[in-house]
Structure 1
Amino acid sequence: MPPSPTVILHTDKPAPALGVLRETHPQLAVHTCDTYADLPGTIERTGAEVVYTVRFDGTPRFPRQALVESDKVKWVSVGGSGTDHLGCWDPARLTVTNAAGVAADMLAEYALGAMLSFSLDLRGFERRQRARSWTAGRIEPIEGKTLLIIGLGKTGEAVARRAQAMGMVTLGIRARPKQMQYMDEVHGPDALYDLFGLADYVVCCLPLLPYTRGMLDASAFAAMKPSAVLVDISRGGIVEESALLSALDSGRLRGAALDVFATEPLPGDHPLWGYDNVIVTPHCAAVYDGWDVKSVRMFACNLTRYLNGEPLENVVDPARGY
């Protein structure tokens, strides 16, 4: 391994990232690239073997081939947690790491806020306020309610910690079940449908993988309580949107808070915009002031390990997707 690899910072806001690396690794040659279109040429021109990259302009146009098929790039550090936009890669030739956990706390706060919005009927109070109607709404405690968390990575753990502090019963699904702090019960995927019927709130924290795509389909919604609320902070494509719409229309679901969608931006004529019992946010639950600097600092720590020939943290297994 060359002692001083060339690094590319592929982000639409390169200045903060560049500032971090100038502070932590001033000896390295660092280049910036702030468009998808220019990344292949930047890799070819610089011969960079390390690329820190953020999916800042959606998935369809992301220049994955420039990264996963390059004969120069040896390590791709993804600035977020999801790596589905990279597709498949050969782990014998390319190492991919992510910034798992960089937004876990923010995502967990979003999930808790969404659940509280429904338990306190905040949208109902908003409608009555606009109508200047002094009418009591129906509020209920979140304490004692049962939460099902699908996916117990760093985000799922952060959700569980907050939910248990609020007095909720926490149930979880994990590919490799084991007892975990803040969880009352942890089960394997085979138990999912049994747990649906117990949950007042369902929070989806899964990566998008071939076996998770469309996981929340018509049969999943049929297994849930009609009083259940879905919170999706995962990836678009895990929830089958046509099945979700049917569940909402038929009263098989109390409501949903959705930060991710199969097509992003969500088309203006999409039916989900029109539901009073659906919260729509534009894939922003993980975006908070300072997340980009925190992510780059995680990369900088890993870069030190890379330079020292030490094992990298947060290496992603392409077969598992995390």
Structure 2
Amino acid sequence: MKILYTGNLKEDHRHDLLSDFPQVDLVSTANESIMDIEICDSDIFISWGRFITPERIARGKNLKWVHALSTGVDKFLIPEIISSDMLLSNSRGIHKEQISEHVFSFLLPYVRRQFDYRKMQKRKEWEHLTISGLANKTIGIVGLGSIGEEIAKKAKVFDMTVVATKKNPTNSIFVDKMYSSKELNKILPMVDFLVLIVPLTDETQNLIGEKELSLMKKSAFLVNMARGGVVDEKALYKALIDNEIAGAGLDVFSKEPLPQDSPLWELDNCYITPHVGGVSPDYTKKAMALFKENLQAYISGKELPTKVDKHKGY
């Protein structure tokens, strides 16, 4: 069984995998020319979305399974994978702590005015600004999965009211009120903070547009940790510049890197990070541990723990 990993896998990670699965032939490379050769007889392809192309997948005549090193699989949903018998799995759940922390790294500095105080520090200005907090505020989580649950859990530490949407609503001890994904418009007027954590699919493309933004409070703050395509960025820019909502924290964009001519860069009420919400020093260690769980299931003829429905996109 041959596994192709896209990237330069460190020796300790190689050792961990091969010690548990000595029957595996593991090849790792970041060189795309070598990748295109090695994929021809590979059974399993472990990859980031940027290495997924129709031509490369078509070369993998023996491919039986593609595993995404990310949670989002929008770049994997190409006809060569969807219409084939290949299995598709992802790395959901391994960065729920990091992404949930990143959400609050937007919220806390915003309500405590740290962004403003930093600017004042550079100008050597001493002034008391009006400060608010998170307690007793309402946070809305759009797409309650494992990451959303972790966000809700942390929100409860700050004594926040939590509402959430989920395609198939289930009870959560951290959520005060659950709604179906079709009831999004019900939560928009009530939230002080809106956090997007849904996968990018045909259903969620431009999920938040002009209409949805107009339903939100003028004091509301939006955080996008999902995919850039979930938000209509032109509508968001207009809402921010017209103060239709108070601010936004964005870690993902419809085009990445965010073009230098994007007007979002210039907004004082828009806070930008370069798609680093899930980054951690031990990301690869966690990702490979999860892959090993899937590999054990695959070898045993069981369903993959993080199998993706290729037609639903999650």
Which residue number in structure 1 is paired with residue 299 of structure 2?
307
2:42 to 22, 43, 48: 48
**2:7 maps to 1:11:** yes
* Partners of 1:99 and 1:87 in 2: CA distance: 15
Which residue number in structure 1 is paired with residue 23 of structure 2?
27
TM-aligned CA deviation for residue 116 of structure 1: 0.8
Distance 1:14 1:277, change over 3 A: same
* Partners of 1:224 and 1:299 in 2: CA distance: 40
**2:53 maps to 1:63:** yes
**Would the aligned equivalents of 2:77 and 2:313 in 1 still touch at CA under 8 Å?**
no
**Residue type of the alignment partner of 1:240:** D
* Partners of 1:233 and 1:284 in 2: CA distance: 10
**Equivalent residues, number:** 312
TM-aligned CA deviation for residue 65 of structure 1: 4.2
CA-based RMSD: 1.7
Structure 1: gaps spanning 5 or more residues = none
Structure 2: gaps spanning 5 or more residues = none
Which residue number in structure 2 is paired with residue 132 of structure 1?
124
Distance 1:33 1:217, change over 3 A: same
* Partners of 1:69 and 1:38 in 2: CA distance: 12
**What's the CA shift string for 1:6-45, capped at 9, x where partnerless?**
111112555454233133223321111213444332111x
**2:79 maps to 1:79:** no
**Would the aligned equivalents of 1:80 and 1:102 in 2 still touch at CA under 8 Å?**
no
1:263 to 255, 274, 279: 255
**What's the CA shift string for 1:142-188, capped at 9, x where partnerless?**
01000000001111111111001211100001111121221101101
Which residue number in structure 2 is paired with residue 94 of structure 1?
86
TM-score (normalizing by structure 2): 0.94
**What's the CA shift string for 1:69-122, capped at 9, x where partnerless?**
733110111111111101243476110111100111100000112111211111
* Partners of 1:67 and 1:261 in 2: CA distance: 26
2:272 to 275, 280, 292: 280
* Partners of 1:264 and 1:16 in 2: CA distance: 31
TM-aligned CA deviation for residue 224 of structure 1: 0.5
Structure with the bigger percentage of helix: 2
Structure 2 SS opposite 1:51 = strand
Using the aligned pairs only, state the percent identity: 26
Distance 1:35 1:84, change over 3 A: farther
